[in-house]
Amino acid sequence: MPIRPILRFPDPRLSSPALPVERFDTGLAALAADLLDTMRAAPGIGITAPHIGVLQRLTVIELDPASGPRIYVNPEVQWASAETISHAEGSVSMPGITDDVVRPRSIRVRYQTIEGKMTQEEADGLLSICLQHEIDQLDGIFWLQRLSRLKRDRAIKRFSKQGKNG
């Protein structure tokens, strides 16, 4: 499958909420395959359809190539723990820039499979962080919005300098 161009921050489409997927067909499967190849090439461990300019609620996560990719269609957080975890996050749309984000340690997510079957899953640790990060993106919340204004401004400045020097 083709590796698609990834939108770069501050593209306004990265702040647009994605629409629910309604058609579970070969087009959706092809889009998921393109996302997987694009994410691996970036490289990254998670990507959403909006990252490539397709405003649909689809995300692919692959924490470990040996375990294979996970595909989530129309994911929603149903429950989140009060206990939190801090982890360095970044984005394939803002390569080379990371900062610590605090999120709930555990969550329960409801989503559909690539075939359209409704299911749910509990996640903690890195998978929980990735799911929350990608669901935020599907909701039009770019990860920088989870930082304090000072940290956000510093990250944007670093990214801007990187573009001028790269």
Query: What positions carry a catalytic annotation?
Result: 134
Output the DSSP codes for 120-152: EEEEEHHHHHHHHHHHHHHTT--GGGGS-HHHH
Quote the CA–CA distance of 144 and 89 in Å, as a whole number.
Answer: 9
Contacts of 154 (CB under 8 A, 6+ apart): none
Quote the CA–CA distance of 84 and 141 in Å, as a whole number.
Answer: 19
Is 104:125 a contact under the CB 8 Å cutoff? no
